[in-house]
Structure 1
Amino acid sequence: MKSLPAAIIEHSRLLPEGGILAPNEFLHLASRAAVDKAFSRLAKGGELMRISRGLYVAPVTGRFGKRAPATEKVVSAIASKSHQVIALSGARAANLLGLTQQVSIKEVFITGGRPRTLQFGKIQVRIEHAPQWQVALGATITGDAVRALAWLGKPHAQEAVAKLRTCLSNSDWQVLKSHRSKLPAWMAEAIEHEAAFA
């Protein structure tokens, strides 16, 4: 029979990069104390990384040694496991959509769920709580557009919406337009104004 650490490692190898391992998924194999101890030892030995309380990932082995999995892949796995939307922060979304040249040094994501901090060695990644209207369109380009507008704020709304009108596909623009009643008044007005002149 396989040892508990061997069973955990074997399971970790079946997961894609960034796949999440949680001790409570192994309670059918041993007691809580034994499972926690096995995870702790595997993390100390560098075979797993503890990224948050009760959450572990397997490091990725490349030609330069071991590294943490890509944060986007880990965040996507957490979103899938928790059945919550976790999306780019407004600052990152605004940069990707070409609405700002500013690049955030810190990695921040937002969710409608509870906030948490992930630790990848010395790098910290924050998942912050945001109002439901910011995550209602999910981790999509139209959702990114909403979060970018929220981050840019009311003074820049009209100019930003005009830019979005040119960079979003027609179908994405229609989704944003149809969603405006669920957005703050200033944002809805900026979209309405652009739609009237489009």
Structure 2
Amino acid sequence: MRHILMGQLSLVRSLPEGLAGEAVRALAWLGPTKGREALSSLKLPPDCREEMASVSAILPLWMAEVVDEIAGWALDKASV
């Protein structure tokens, strides 16, 4: 995990298994710029995005902002 503090590493490792946890761990590894681009290009199902958003409060600020942005985008697309 290149783009998080060592104290936050255990937090990221404690995320749920499955697609949502993998996506958040990938975000931590890729960093703010590349992570936002990568997650934006994925076609994650709405339930995965909701699960990601449910843990955003415990994530570092930059990760929470990206996750919330992705989750909000999914809700906009789902309602169309």
Q: What residue number does 2:22 align with?
A: 144
Is 2:55 aligned against 1:179? yes
Counterpart Cα distance in 2 of 1:196 and 1:169: 12
Q: Does the 8 Å CA contact 2:49/2:70 hold for their aligned counterparts?
A: no
* RMSD between superposed Cα atoms in Å: 2.1
Higher strand share: 1
Report deviation, 1:174.
0.8
Deviation at 1:132, TM superposition (A): 2.1
**Does 1:134 find its partner at 2:12?**
yes
The structure having more radius of gyration, on CA atoms, is 1
Deviation beyond 4 Å, 4+ runs, structure 1: none
Q: TM-score normalised to the size of structure 2?
A: 0.67
- The 2-side partners of 1:196 and 1:174 are apart by 9
Distance change (3 Å), C-alpha of 1:144 and 1:178: same
Identity among equivalent pairs (%)? 34
**Cα deviations across residues 87-132 of structure 1 (Å, max 9, x unaligned)?**
xxx6xxxxxxxxxxxxxxxxxxxxxxxxxxxxxxxxxxxxxxx722
TM-score of the superposed pair, with normalisation by structure 1: 0.31
State the structure with bigger RCO (CA 8 A, min sep 6), 1 or 2: 2
Q: 1:151 to 1:132 in 2, by over 3 A?
A: same
Displacement of 1:163 after TM fit? Answer: 2.4
**How far has the Cα of 1:157 moved from its partner?**
2.7
